[in-house]
Amino acid sequence: MTPSYDVVLVGGGGAGLRAAIAIAETNPRLTIAVVSKVYPMRSHTVSAEGGAAGVIAPDDSIDEHIYDTISGGDWLCDQDAVEAFVHEAPQELMRLEHWGCPWSREPDGRVAVRPFGGMKKMRTWFAADKTGFHMLHTLFQTSLKYGGVTRYDEWFVTRLLVDDGRVQGVVAIDLKSGRVEAITAKAVILCTGGCGKVFPFTTNAAIKTGDGMTLAYRAGAPLKDMEFVQYHPTGLPFTGILITEAARAEGGYLINKDGYRYLQDYNLGTPQPHPVFRSMELGPRDRLSQAFVKEMEKGRTIETPYGHVVHLDLRHLGEKKINAKIPFVRELCTKYQNLDPVRDLIPVRPVVHYMMGGIHTDIHGATPLPGLFAAGEAACVSINGANRLGSNSLPELLVFGARAGRAAAEYASQAREVDPRVIAQKTDEHRRLEQELFGRKGRERIATLRDEMQKTMEASAGIYRAAPALRQGVAELQRLQERYADIAIEDHSRTFNTERVSALELSFLLDVAQSMLAAALAREESRGAHQRTDFPKRDDQRFLAHSLVSRNADGSCRVEHRPVTITRWPPGERVYGEAAPHGTAHQAADRPLSSGAGV
């Protein structure tokens, strides 16, 4: 018997779980399945460290958060989406407080907030520096309360069931037994997270392989703004483990090999002993990562066996503050870098961190494909535009997870029953999986292809890009796609066949990579995280627009552009440092900050 639900959620991370709870609360009679390739609490949301933005401080305002987000995104954000997001974020974070999230507090018991990069006010809620971990576990544990949620833990979705232009479920492998099953539903929400594993050096976990993006793309939904990949300026060399922006928000300095706070040379303000909003180390991530590359070109970075680095200096913060505010940073440095930030400089370098682009959705999380919804990092609504501000992603999971959940619930309440004929597609998929992954004796190692893809992407679509390298990358990816047809799978077991999973993930990654290069080639301007050396200026005339990549029948990409939604904030110049953006509401506060005294 094929299990059938009203809504199937793919992904048990922050977005997926929030959506599941939203559905259960909207209509307790709906049946919900959460399908996830790892146990939900292992989802990558668990790694998020710094915090989640939501206007709560008395001196803050909704408009300021909107403006910071839009300017941070270099005016590529849809402003209606940003408005909805900023309005709902505080409520969502508050809801999480009511569900038990251990937010750090002020001495009087209220929730504390801290400054964050690109933000003009203190509005980042945090749970020390394990914010994502606490949010995910709170959501997961709270989701256990709802009897209507059936979980498919460690089930790997390989395909969407589409019939009659309508998405009606998924096909998934139960990893423990290896059996392939259809799980049908009136609506499907993809919350599968990002795709950092397209690149060699990333903060992202092994599971971030863009599965949902490719699932949607193959089913006919377009991917939006795929050229915008965020590099985080401070990753540990070798592992790529993230040192959260909170380390800079609490007062850390970035210094080059001469001990010089080099950001002052890149239009990011003048150094002050204490952090200043939207200035120096609290500039946006795209600018900081770009500054690193320039600094490296000037020969002022430090060479290590794992590439060039600069130093993050936290020593002046003192042991007490480090332990209270960023204990995980200390733990990670001690464990993985064998140094103690209380006494030592931390070597850091830019690292692929976040995908601004994703499955194209409207502000309710609906994709153009009826029955298909998406939320979280897998989706692109878009509130992040050309560069996401730190601490905007976690609240995005909540706001748009909940929105997608409600929209899907409503859709499912009215949708026709699932057409039993879609189940036949399971047989096709089953056959494909058997033939592609068990039937054939290939020669190519999965790891080799993956390494080559990652190298290709770094070479052609790194922090700075240009047409020749991008074209070369496109050609190389094409060759890798062909070689993929000849991969070797040594593992013939059906029980927990992780090699088969790696092969499927690689194929998802390859498609995502192709869409990124296609979109990057088509965007002949520089904006936010997308910097073309051959088109160094922003070009609002041609490219104040989202790129939409669709898949042609032969597997090639088609890129279109569609205008950005502008409501009240006409495109302006992005200014960081002391030169404040115009208007009283957008004044950069040139005063020292200190975040809440709570732990």
Partner 1 sequence: MEQTHTYGDTPYHPRWLRRRVSTYWWLWKPAYLRFILREGSCMFVGWFTVYLLLLLAALLEGPLAYELFLAWSATPAVLIVNVVTLGFVVFHAITFFQAAPQAMVVRLGRARVAPQTVLLGHYAGWVVVSAVVAFFLLGA
Partner 2 sequence: MAQRIRLQIARYRPEQESEATFDEYEVPYTKEMAVLDGLNFVKDRLDGTLAYRWSCRMGICGSCGMTVNGEPKLTCATFLGDYAPGPLRVEPLRNFPVIRDLIVDIGDFMRKLVRVKPWIVRSAEKPIAGGEYLQTPEQLEEYKPFSMCINCMLCYSACPIYGLDPKFIGPAAIALAQRYNLDNRDEGSADRMEVLSEHEGIWGCTFVGECTKVCPKHVDPAGAIQRYKLTAAIDSMKAFFAPRGA
Ligand X SMILES: Cc1cc2nc3c(=O)[nH]c(=O)nc-3n(C[C@H](O)[C@H](O)[C@H](O)COP(=O)(O)OP(=O)(O)OC[C@H]3O[C@@H](n4cnc5c(N)ncnc54)[C@H](O)[C@@H]3O)c2cc1C
Out of 65, 151, 186, 527, the only residue in the binding site for partner 1 (CB under 8 A) is: 151
Select from partner 1, ligand X, partner 2, none the partner in contact with residue 15, using the beta carbon and a kind-dependent cut-off of 5 to 8 Å.
Answer: ligand X
The reply to whether 110 sits near partner 1 by the rule CB under 8 A is no
Measured at the CA of 93, the angle between CA 27 and CA 236, to 5 degrees, comes to 120
Among 80, 97, 174, 344, binds partner 1 (CB under 8 A): 174
Token pair of 384 as six digits = 């992040």
- 87 labelled catalytic: no
Q: Does 585 bind partner 2 (CB under 8 A)?
A: no
Q: Which is nearer to ligand X, 204 or 454 (CB)?
A: 204
Virtual CA dihedral for 122, 123, 128, 131, nearest 10 degrees?
Answer: -150
Q: Give the nearer residue to partner 2 in terms of CB position, either 410 or 491.
A: 491
Strand partners, 336: none
Question: Nearest-CA neighbor of 260 among 245, 280, 230, 289?
Answer: 280
What does the alpha-carbon distance between residue 253 and residue 268 come to, in Å, rounded to a whole number? 13
In angstroms, what is the C-alpha Rg of the chain?
23
DSSP string, 410-460: HHHHHSPPPPGGGHHHHHHHHHHHHIIIII----B-HHHHHHHHHHHHHHH
Comparison of 23 and 470: residue with beta carbon closer to ligand X: 23
Q: How far is the CB of 156 from partner 1 (least distance, A)?
A: 12
Residue 438 binds to partner 2 (criterion: CB under 8 A): no
CB of 407 within 8 A of CB of 27?
A: no
Secondary structure of residue 397 in the 3-state scheme: helix
Which two tokens mark 109? 């018991």
Catalytic option among 248, 465, 530, 586 = 248
Q: Nearest approach, Cβ of 265 to ligand X (angstroms)?
A: 27
Site for partner 1 in 418-477 (CB under 8 A): none
531 binds, among partner 1, partner 2, ligand X, none (CB under 5 to 8 A by kind): none
State yes or no: residue 144 binds partner 1 (CB under 8 A).
yes
Contact pick of 2, 427, 435, 498 for partner 2 (by CB under 8 A): 498
User: Within a 13 Å sphere around the CA of 24, how many CA atoms are in the beta-carbon half?
Assistant: 19
Cα distances (angstroms) measured from residue 20 to each of 4, 182, 183, 375, 518: 16, 20, 16, 12, 34
Q: How long is the chain?
A: 599
E strands along 192-345, which residues? 223-224, 229-235, 253-255, 302-304, 307-313
248 is catalytic: yes
Decide if residue 141 touches partner 1 (CB under 8 A). Answer: no
Beta carbon nearer to ligand X, 132 or 473:
132
Buried b (16+ CB within 10 A) or exposed e, 465-476: beeebbeebbeb
- The partner in contact with residue 150, picked from partner 2, ligand X, partner 1, none with C-beta cut-offs of 5 to 8 angstroms by kind, is partner 1
Using CB under 8 A as the binding rule, whether residue 150 contacts partner 1 is answered as yes
Binding to partner 2 in span 499-558, by CB under 8 A: 499
Give the distance, in angstroms, between the CA of residue 342 and the centroid of all CA atoms in the same chain: 30
Residue 108 interacting entry, from partner 2, ligand X, partner 1, none, C-beta within 5 to 8 Å by type: partner 2
Q: Which residue is at the shortest CB distance from ligand X? A: 13
Q: Which residues bind ligand X (CB under 6 A)?
A: 10-16, 35-38, 40, 43-45, 47-52, 131-132, 156-157, 191-194, 203-204, 207-208, 211-212, 242, 244, 353-354, 376-378, 390-394, 397
- Residue number, 182 or 242, with CB nearest to ligand X: 242
The answer to whether 145 contacts partner 1 (rule: CB under 8 A) is yes
What does the alpha-carbon distance between residue 185 and residue 423 come to, in Å, rounded to a whole number?
Answer: 11
The least CB distance from residue 201 to partner 2, in Å, is 13
Using the minimum distance from each CB to ligand X, give the nearer residue, 18 or 532: 18
Options 149-157, 354-362, 395-403, 572-580: segment touching partner 1 (CB under 8 A): 149-157
Helical (H) or strand (E) element with 468: helix 467-484
Least distance (Å) from partner 2 to the CB of residue 291?
26
Q: Which parts of 327-346 interact with partner 2 (CB under 8 A)?
A: 331-332, 335-336, 338
Residue type for position 377 = E
Residue 336 vs 570, nearer CB to partner 2: 336
Question: If binding means CB under 8 A, how many residues of this protein chain bind partner 1?
Answer: 17
* CA–CA distance, 330 with 326 (Å, rounded to integer): 7
The Cβ of residue 125 has, within 10 Å, a number of other Cβ atoms equal to: 29
Cα first-last separation, the chain: 52
What is the rounded CA–CA span in Å between residue 296 and residue 282?
Answer: 20
Assess contact for 188 and 10: CB atoms under 8 A: yes
DSSP state of 387: S
Question: What minimum distance in Å lies between the beta carbon of 142 and partner 1?
Answer: 13
Q: What residues line the site for partner 2 (CB under 8 A)?
A: 38-39, 41-44, 46-47, 91, 94-95, 97-100, 102-111, 130, 133-134, 137, 141-142, 144-145, 153, 176, 205-207, 238-239, 241-242, 331-332, 335-336, 338, 445-447, 488-491, 493-499, 597-599
Q: What residues line the site for partner 1 (CB under 8 A)?
A: 3, 33, 35, 144-145, 147, 150-155, 174, 176-177, 183, 495
Active-site annotation, residues: 232, 248
